[in-house]
Structure 1
Amino acid sequence: MKTLKFKTSAMCSGCVATIGKSLNEIAKPEQWFIDVNSKDKVLTIETDKEAAEIIRQIEKAGYKAEQV
């Protein structure tokens, strides 16, 4: 497992819930966290998946993400 970080376009807990539904398809809920209090709304995820797959899942939920 590796730890990846992404800047996201999430704005609130509702956004996190929507993104979470998509992320939960490829990771357990305890493997990821979005810090909505940070300026860049950083997603930290423990995963074996590639960054591109994480970004696809976030975009599937209707949000933007870029790896940091």
Structure 2
Amino acid sequence: METLKFKTNINCGGCIAKVTPALNETVGEGNWLVDTSVPEKILTVKAETISNSIIKRVESVGFRIEKV
């Protein structure tokens, strides 16, 4: 399993609630975390999934995301 980090604009509890179903479906519940306390709003993912799949899923629910 690999740890991937992404810079996002997921910046509040409401945003996390909106992206939760997509991330849980893509990488599994408990395999991701968004740090909203830093300006970059870092999404950390532990997954075997290719980062492009994660990027597409997060973008599909309306958020910006880029690999760090």
State the TM bucket, normalised to the shorter chain.
Answer: over 0.9
Per-residue CA deviation, residues 1-46 of structure 1 (Å, 9 max, x unaligned), is 1000000011201101111111111122210000011111000000
Task: Mark the runs of 5 or more structure 1 residues left unpaired by the alignment.
Answer: none
Q: Would you say 1:53 and 2:60 are equivalent positions?
A: no
Q: Which 5+ residue runs of structure 2 have no aligned equivalent?
A: none
Following TM superposition, the consecutive aligned residue runs of length 4 or more in structure 1 with deviations greater than 2 angstroms are: none
Alignment partner of 1:25: what SS? helix
Q: Distance in 1 between matches of 2:8 and 2:29?
A: 17
Q: CA RMSD in A?
A: 0.8
Please name the residue that 1:9 is paired with.
Answer: 9
Identity of aligned residues (%): 37
Residue matched to 1:34: 34
Give the structure-1-normalised TM-score. 0.94
